[in-house]
Chains A and B, each alone.
Chain A
Amino acid sequence: MKEFILKRLLALIPILFIVSLVVFLIIHMTPGDPAHVILGETATEEQIENLRQQLGLNKPIYEQYFSWIGGVITGDLGYSYFMKMSVSSALLEHLGPTVSLSLLAELIAIFIGIPLGILAAKHKGSVLDQSFMGFSLMGISIPSFLLGLLLILFFGVQLKLLPVAGYVPLNENIGSHLKYLILPAFSLGIMQAALIARMTRSSMLDVLNTNYVKTALSKGVKQRNIVLKHALRNAFLPILTVIGQTFGVLITGAAVIETVFNIPGIGQLIINSIERRDFSTIQGAILFMTLAYVMINLIIDLLYGVIDPRVRLSHK
């Protein structure tokens, strides 16, 4: 187990190195100039050139890369001229909203997706099954930003039940925190719920047709116990994979929803940084996202073992 974790962590090094190089090159080859953004559209060429010189943007690209990557190795992701803070602090500041939103969206997805999937599988071919799967197809098809705008219109503008945009940190007021996150979390969660529901249904169907389930049925075990204890646990591996993947997508920044609901998370940070050509923040954020994605996958792999003893890694 330890060896497995160590191996996976070591594999991170080349991944991060390649990502850093690719991101750095792409960003620096993209036209657009942070000095020009700081000084504004109508700045003169002389002003822009002076600032470029002072910020070190005129140095050769390899020199800029090595000076940045040298910092990264020692834990310094760089400094954002726009935010006037280190990239690590900027990432930490923007991580809270994204983690909150992702967790809430994932919880919504799990609590809607899994029961719907189980019910659909149990009543395969029935009207219930058809309508649930119709709902899930709709959930997958509707773009999250459209759903977000519709939710804003209905719950925010018409009913005035929930705020339309903004964010209150958890440590300030948990009630307001949740109030601001409900609509965006639903906008994101519905799509993930649809994915989870479909996966749960098909995975459960496979398991419900196996011999041990039939044996349990013939032994007179309660159907509820069969479904929840025997079948669901065995059907859970593929579901967990989907949950892991969806969480990975959410945590690395639900950029569109964060923009629509004005949530200052990682996704919005990246979009804003690209718009203002905040090189060091874009680089730092993408490295961080890579790290987060790989770590989530690692955790999911470890959870396989918790759920299914057959894949426990220590037995390998």
Chain B
Amino acid sequence: MPSSILHRNSKKISIDWGHLLTVMAMAAWALWYLVDVRSVSLNLGNTLLVQPLTIVFLLMLVAVLPQVFQKEDLPEALKPESLDRPSALRILGLMAAFAIFVWGMFAVGFDAAVFVFSFTVLLIGGERRWWLISIFATLSTVILVKGYQLLVPFQMPNILLG
């Protein structure tokens, strides 16, 4: 079928690197999981669901690969929303701030972590009134930490709020 070959050859390859990375990460995890499951035991009690499902999952990831290499030819609904540089940086900044907040809860203290996180997110969100940021971060820290201290039966390590 020369025409179809020609048609296929004429398709421009455009790689969506983010999507490729996502697919590769899922495939790597699934492969590792399959190896891990098989290393534990080959008994049916261990592999009954996981082994066939992992293989099906890997096959589906292979099936999605052509979409990764034809970014431009995909229907609009399957294309990721375009993000300008400031928007992407805001999202990455929020993710990083959240990760640091979770680390800070246990490494520094719940109160300090909430204060810094609230302060940072307001800045990332575009708030520039320093007095408002300070008041909001302080109030949200006190209300959230004290409120959850009343509800949660576990110790919440704090620097100032006891």
Task: Indicate whether A and B interact.
Answer: no
Q: Which residues of A contact B (CB under 8 A)?
A: none
